[in-house]
Amino acid sequence: MKHKVLVGMEVHLQLRTHSKMFCGCPVKFGAPVNTLVCPVCLGLPGSLPVPNRDALTMALALATAMGCEINNLTKFDRKNYFYPDLPKGYQISQYDRPLATGGAVEVVTEAGVKSVRLRRLHIEEDVGKNLHDDARGLSRVDFNRAGTPLVEIVSEPDLASAEEARAYLNALRALVQYLDVSDANMQEGNLRCEPNVNLHIEDAGGVVKTPIIEVKNLNSVRNVERAVKFEIDRQLAEYREKGAAVTKQPRATRGYDDQRDQTFEMREKEEAHDYRYFPEPDIPPLSIDAKWRAEAKARVPELPAARRRRFSDQFGLSAYDADALTRERATADYFEQAVAAGAPPKPAANWITSDLARHANDRKTSVKGLGLAPARLAALVRLVEDGRVARQVASKDVLPRLLDGDDDPEALVSKLGLARIDDASRIEDVARRAIAANARAAADYRAGKEKAIGALMGFVMREMQGKANSDVVQDVLKRLLREGA
Amino acid sequence: MSELWQLSATALAAAVRSREASAVDVAEAHLDRALRWNDQVEAFLHLEPEEVRRQAREIDRRIAAGEDPGRLAGVPVAIKDNLCVRGQPATCASRILEPFVPPYDAHVIERLRVKGAVLFGKTNLDEFAMGSSTENSAFGPTRNPFDLERTAGGSSGGSAAAVAAGLAPLALGSDTGGSIRQPAALCGVVGMKPTYGLVSRYGLIAFASSLDQIGPFGRTVDDAALLLEAVGGADARDATSAGVPVPDLRRPGDVKGLRIGVPRECFGEGLAPDVRALVERAIKDLGKAGARIEEVSLPLSVHGIAVYYIVAPSEASSNLARYDGVRYGLRGDGKDVEEMFSLTRGEAFGPEVKRRILLGTFALSSGYYEAYYGRAQRVRAAMRHEMEECFKKVDLLASATTPTAAFALGEKTDDPLAMYLSDVLTVTAPLCGVPALSLPCGRTAAGLPVGLHLTAPRFGESVLFRAARAAEQMLPPFAWPPEPPR
């Protein structure tokens, strides 16, 4: 069934300011309940909000980085609704004059590079957090988070797959980390996102558009990808069952259950929400003048997309590798430092995105956080490239020791006798044993099955702990087989 | 010789600073009077004599220690109960805030403490300042000291009555559509609403944020000026603060050459003949003193009440959403959160507050926003423009403050529209953000005070007070209301 996937993304990003959006309380995660509060963020009678200029500048820097059009005149609006975690009975947000509109984010998947258009970027305040004590049947509210500055970024429905949804979030996270405006950590709730998913399905009678589903409760990039994938499949199945009748269903919100890896219907109130937006009378409209724009622009460093392109051009890396390297600013810096220390770029990229990334993941840190000096990595990469140690040996035996504190790859290699063995005479003996022990493979090879040599090579490499030069091993085996050993 | 309670704030501060009288003596004189009168007038919702004495003793200590006690040294200032004073109740005359004690001082309260004033109790108002008679107070109405069967006006009726009856020489009120000037007129005192942004609203419990301003009550123009000078000026905690200091308001001057406009629209059918006669005479007196009196027209001002009753309730519907029982104030029980919200708000708000929340919620709702709130904002912008144009031709506007003198308690409680219309002459100034002042200009045959209303351009406080002082000198001096039965 021919269909097109349309995913739009609504992202909320907590800005890492010193103080909250409209008061002087500190922005901090994990403080004791209700200790980071004051009359303003508690919404006490008589208190008034004063916008945090630094938060606005950070949001402007982000808008600049994404090529958004910044409004000359922006204003705050009140979004009215009742909820216990909302101290004032309204959220100060932006409605019809957001900080910025338009712009785009470049995303990279294995299929290539794609530009995702943005609809708008606005600033608002976060709400508190409801804490439920089910055992005692009580609920409490922690207002530490209330008033934390949030940026909301709404994309056009340009994402055409779950992979692109994931890539979009990764690109956005990379961007804000480069700008140093947010931790963008989904587990801690610094970054929250709600994908909107629907399908345009080619039907005999034309195009059937499934109702737009907004998915909530997503706490990791991986879950976003899984939830979008599930939702695409679910909507397809629903269309197969009900046909064009699906268009009569309203747009809806579904939650995501990561235990079962599925979305579920969320009970919505019958009445449609009417937030009764109106201009916030406590805050006059703000004019964003040239000086302020320049200040925001000065905060924008070389961005991931530009750096990715530069890495491709300068070092001949694929877009995919360059993207993996540039997603974290510190990793990209690390790569450049290793290259500067003499590592050939392509192998260095490979070492960082495979070996170092895997160790970082195991140790729950970043590439930089592994503590391996870029010059050490460069030395190791050079040893491999110069043929002095086998890639596998370097990866399995040398690198872990370097990570545990040894600091000279070359000394390590000679001390442990890990140098690559290129001498055919030292290989021949093992090769003979390999042929003797694998008579069937040897016979197959001689019968013309060239691939059968793989089993023989595996035997030799195993016997020699991977240290043998595989080209030499292959030559020796072929010669011996030819000679009828 | 005058009793201490009869002295002006200016005279009291001078007496305390020169140690002719102690702050404690001043406090006792006013406490004695307030504790005797309050049963009849019901001006105060809370008055803690011990707390008043404590502050007075502190002033005396500062003077004895040779410290500068401030320009309001030892002067009692009554505070409308919608202003936050740390550790004292701030009920807004509403059941919903009855248990609420703010943990912080409003900006104006901080300023008063610095200037050596003695915070003298919290005064009655219409619930959340919504009303024109204090009959919407959940704790009973304030009475007019000149006739206890009549209203003191509202919403700052308690502050106006306290000053008129000599219970305090000064009081702070808040004005949204006339809530300072209307009760000042009905109680025969001076009441003034500053330019929007001149006085910080930090700590003023909001009714309608784009209109609310804190302002002074006094028995003389100079006293009102003294209080405004003390509380006005920049405050970083209010984003709508204009960030400008209050000019010197007590510089001597006269009205010679001032152009005073008399808006035709303010002298229409609803104006009571006795009020009209007194106000026209006062304006004529200003002319005799050298002002150029000319008729002007503000055609859009006739829409003032309509615009006001869209804008103010809309903002109020949102401002009052925080009273949900979650964090402070009364809480209704309920089996779930929804029920808790509706029981809290359903039981603890009075009928006028509910009426305005409903009006405002409707005016902001999707599908009606443009027809109501959107259109009201556009008319408001046009009114501001019309006012600015008018002030290119004249320096001040003069009219009556209210269409009638004090009406009887209960007279308008069944007719909200009639009640709303008592603000018809005062709503224009807050809608346009301009300063305006009411000062007494005589009494009706029944002995009820009548107010002359002067309006100046934005930040025209200097000329406003100068003209008011000149008028005060020509008009009959402040006369005390009859003493209450012992």
- The neighbour count for residue A425, using CB atoms within 10 Å, is 7
Of A46, A84, A282, nearest to B203 by CB-CB distance is A46
Q: Angle between the A162-179 and A304-315 helix axes, to the nearest 10 degrees?
A: 100
Chain A contact present for B210, CB below 8 A: yes
Inter-chain residue contact B366 with A78, CB threshold 8 Å: no
Structural contact between residues A21 and A51, judged by C-beta atoms closer than 8 angstroms: yes
What CATH code is assigned to B2-259+393-410+431-474? 3.90.1300.10
CB pairs under 8 A between A and B: 101
Structural contact between residues B153 and B124, judged by C-beta atoms closer than 8 angstroms: no
Inter-chain residue contact B318 with A282, CB threshold 8 Å: no
Chain A contact present for B109, CB below 8 A: no
For A211, phi then psi, to 5°, come to: -60, 145
Both structure tokens of A437: 């022990």
Respond yes or no on whether the N-terminal peptide bond of residue A354 is cis (omega within 30° of 0): no
Closest residue by Cα to residue B291 from B477, B476, B466: B466
Interface test with B, best of A276, A280, A282, A283 (most B CBs within 10 A): A276
Both structure tokens of A220: 């990791």
DSSP assignment string, A210-261: PPPEEEE---SHHHHHHHHHHHHHHHHHHHHHHGGGGGGSPPEEEEEETTTT
Q: Which residues of B are catalytic?
A: 80, 155, 179
CB contacts of B203 in chain A (<8 Å) are 46-47
CB contacts of A276 in chain B (<8 Å) are 317-318, 361, 364-366, 369
For A109, phi then psi, to 5°, come to: -120, 180
* Residue keyed to tokens 């000037």: B181
Residues 6+ apart with CB under 8 A from A308: A108, A319, A322, A323, A325, A326
CB contacts of B322 in chain A (<8 Å) are 43, 45, 87-89
CB contacts of A47 in chain B (<8 Å) are 202-203
Interface test with A, best of B100, B237, B369 (most A CBs within 10 A): B237
Of B201, B203, B361, nearest to A276 by CB-CB distance is B361
In this structure, the strands spanning A3-14 and A213-216 are unpaired
Inter-chain residue contact B366 with A50, CB threshold 8 Å: no
B211: nearest CA partner in chain A:
A281
Whole-number Å distance between alpha carbons of B341 and B326:
8
Inter-chain residue contact A89 with B314, CB threshold 8 Å: no
Both structure tokens of B444: 């009706």
CB contacts of A49 in chain B (<8 Å) are 239
Specify which residues A199 forms β-bridges with: A5
Both structure tokens of A266: 């969320």
Structural contact between residues A281 and B210, judged by C-beta atoms closer than 8 angstroms: yes
Inter-chain residue contact B102 with A45, CB threshold 8 Å: yes
Domain ranges of chain A: 3-294, 304-416, 424-482
Chain A contact present for B336, CB below 8 A: no
CB contacts of B328 in chain A (<8 Å) are 44-45
pLDDT in tens, chain B (486 residues): 579 999 999 999 999 999 999 999 999 999 999 999 999 999 999 999 999 999 999 999 999 999 999 999 999 999 999 999 999 999 999 999 999 999 999 999 999 999 999 999 999 999 999 999 999 999 999 999 999 999 999 999 999 999 999 999 999 999 999 999 999 999 999 999 999 999 999 999 999 999 999 999 999 999 999 999 999 999 999 999 999 999 999 888 899 999 999 999 999 888 999 999 999 999 999 999 999 999 999 999 999 999 999 999 999 999 999 999 999 999 998 888 999 999 999 999 999 999 999 999 999 999 999 999 999 999 999 999 999 999 999 999 999 999 999 999 999 988 888 888 889 999 999 999 999 999 999 999 999 999 999 999 999 999 999 999 999 999 988 889 988 665
Residue B25, phi-psi category: left (phi > 0), alpha (psi -120 to 50), beta (remainder):
alpha
Of A46, A48, A141, nearest to B239 by CB-CB distance is A48
Distance from CA of A283 to the nearest CA of B (A): 6
Specify which residues A191 forms β-bridges with: A13
Chain A contact present for B172, CB below 8 A: no
Whole-number Å distance between alpha carbons of A15 and A58:
8
- The neighbour count for residue A118, using CB atoms within 10 Å, is 22
Closest residue by Cα to residue B166 from B439, B486, B485, B482: B482
What CATH code is assigned to A424-482? 1.10.10
Q: Give me the pLDDT at residue B479, please.
A: 87
Q: How many CA atoms lie within 13 A of B463 on its CB side?
A: 23
Chain A contact present for B353, CB below 8 A: no
Structural contact between residues B452 and B438, judged by C-beta atoms closer than 8 angstroms: yes
Of B209, B317, B341, nearest to A281 by CB-CB distance is B209
Closest residue by Cα to residue B198 from B169, B238, B253, B159: B238
DSSP assignment string, A405-461: T---HHHHHHHTT---B--HHHHHHHHHHHHHHTHHHHHHHHTT-GGGHHHHHHHHH
CB contacts of A80 in chain B (<8 Å) are 317-318, 321, 364
Inter-chain residue contact B321 with A89, CB threshold 8 Å: yes
Inter-chain residue contact A44 with B104, CB threshold 8 Å: yes
Inter-chain residue contact B327 with A87, CB threshold 8 Å: yes
Q: Which helix (H) or strand (E) holds B171?
A: strand B170-175
Chain A contact present for B322, CB below 8 A: yes
* Collapsed DSSP state (helix, strand, coil) of residue B409: coil
Q: Could you tell me the pTM of the whole model?
A: 0.90
Of B201, B318, B326, nearest to A48 by CB-CB distance is B201
- For residue B394, the 8-state DSSP code is -
Residues on A contacting B at a C-beta cutoff of 8 Å: 39, 42-51, 78, 80, 82, 84, 87-90, 139, 141, 274, 276-278, 281-284
Structural contact between residues A143 and A90, judged by C-beta atoms closer than 8 angstroms: no
- For residue B373, the 8-state DSSP code is I
Whole-number Å distance between alpha carbons of A62 and A60:
5
In B256-397, which residue ranges form alpha helices assigned H by DSSP?
Answer: 273-288, 304-319, 337-348, 351-364, 375-393
Inter-chain residue contact A282 with B97, CB threshold 8 Å: no
Whole-number Å distance between alpha carbons of B475 and B257:
19
Interface test with B, best of A44, A85, A280 (most B CBs within 10 A): A44
Whole-number Å distance between alpha carbons of B110 and B235:
11
Inter-chain residue contact A78 with B318, CB threshold 8 Å: yes
Both structure tokens of B51: 């707390």
Kindly tell me the burial class for residue A217, based on how many C-beta atoms sit within 10 Å of its own C-beta (0-12, 13-18, 19 or more).
middle
Inter-chain residue contact A283 with B240, CB threshold 8 Å: yes
Both structure tokens of A312: 């491709």
Specify which residues A91 forms β-bridges with: A79
* Residue keyed to tokens 């290793």: A338
Closest residue by Cα to residue B34 from B51, B15, B10: B51
- For residue A159, the 8-state DSSP code is B
Whole-number Å distance between alpha carbons of A455 and B114:
92
Inter-chain residue contact B84 with A45, CB threshold 8 Å: yes
Structural contact between residues B204 and B167, judged by C-beta atoms closer than 8 angstroms: no
Regions of chain A with pLDDT less than 70: 268-272, 485
Structural contact between residues B232 and B199, judged by C-beta atoms closer than 8 angstroms: yes
A273: nearest CA partner in chain B:
B366
Structural contact between residues B95 and B138, judged by C-beta atoms closer than 8 angstroms: yes
CB contacts of B102 in chain A (<8 Å) are 39, 44-46
Domain ranges of chain B: 2-259+393-410+431-474, 302-378
Inter-chain residue contact B102 with A276, CB threshold 8 Å: no
Both structure tokens of A245: 């009748």
- The neighbour count for residue A1, using CB atoms within 10 Å, is 9
Distance from CA of B360 to the nearest CA of A (A): 10
Of B206, B321, B366, nearest to A274 by CB-CB distance is B366
Through-space distance between the first and last CA atoms of chain A, rounded to whole angstroms:
58
B91: nearest CA partner in chain A:
A45
Whole-number Å distance between alpha carbons of B400 and B438:
8
Whole-number Å distance between alpha carbons of A214 and A281:
32
